[in-house]
Amino acid sequence: MTDELSPERVRTETVRLVVNGEAHHLRVDTRATLLDTLRERLGLTGAKKGCDHGECGTCTVLVNGRRVYACLTLTVTLDDAEVTTVEGLAAGDGPHPLQRAFVERDAVACGYCVPGQLCAAVAVLAEARAGVPSAVTADLAARPVLGLDEIRERMSGNLCRCGCYDRMAAAIAEAAR
């Protein structure tokens, strides 16, 4: 009798991912999460494992421009997807405008949640530019205005144990300008 997790019972699939602009062809266990693939197979440790249940947001990355919790996303579901991690946000030699704003606004305490916060914030700015409303958008027919209430609502899926929310919201508002 073979064990359920014995090597001969493990299913694998080959996926193609473009991660931070670089193409990868990977043979992955069908149960592997994107977070584990990024950290263990590709050496990208920016996205953190916090709760491992999609409750804290420390593992937030962008998949095809939309934010996802990498701890809940199976790698095999992402064939031909474009993934951006915090390591891929900066363009050229300088930091991303949000990274710069987080530093200038002192929006980082311990830093553990920051990679997920930054990826989520990039998505927040893109959603607002695209006219996607949130639960607090006053006029659903108008383009959302990224005030602090709007930013806080849109970032509510990302937790910070150090409580830097006000400084993060201010940094996102600054970057939005």
3-state secondary structure of 7: helix
CA dihedral of 126, 131, 132, 138, whole degrees rounded to 10: 130
Residue 161 has pLDDT above 60, yes or no: yes
> What tens digit of pLDDT does each residue of 39-93 get?
999 999 999 999 999 999 999 999 999 999 999 999 999 999 999 999 999 978 8
CATH number for 119: 1.10.150.120
**d(Cα 100, Cα 104) in Å, to the nearest integer?**
6
From 41, 67, 88, the end of a domain falls on 88
The domain total for the chain is: 2
pLDDT value of residue 4: 63
Cα-based distances in Å from 66 to 94, 106, 133: 23, 26, 15
Residue 150 has pLDDT above 70, yes or no: yes
Report the percent of the chain where pLDDT is more than 90: 89
Q: Say yes or no: 79 and 109 in one domain.
A: no
Residue 119 has pLDDT above 60, yes or no: yes
Locate the DSSP E strands across 20-176.
22-29, 60-63, 66-69, 81-84
Quickly count: other Cβ atoms within 10 Å of residue 50's Cβ. Answer: 22
pLDDT value of residue 6: 65
Q: Is residue 2 included in any domain, yes or no?
A: no
Q: Say yes or no: 71 and 117 in one domain.
A: no
**d(Cα 83, Cα 62) in Å, to the nearest integer?**
6
What does the block give as tokens for 23?
């193409």
Q: 121 with 129: CB under 8 angstroms? A: no
Q: Say yes or no: 80 and 118 in one domain.
A: no
Q: Say yes or no: 117 and 84 in one domain.
A: no
pLDDT value of residue 154: 97
Q: Say yes or no: 83 and 148 in one domain.
A: no
What does the block give as tokens for 107?
């929006």
Please compute the mean of the pLDDT values over residues 135-160 and round it to a whole number: 94
Domain that holds residue 13: 7-88
> What tens digit of pLDDT does each residue of 86-113 get?
999 997 888 999 999 999 999 999 999 9
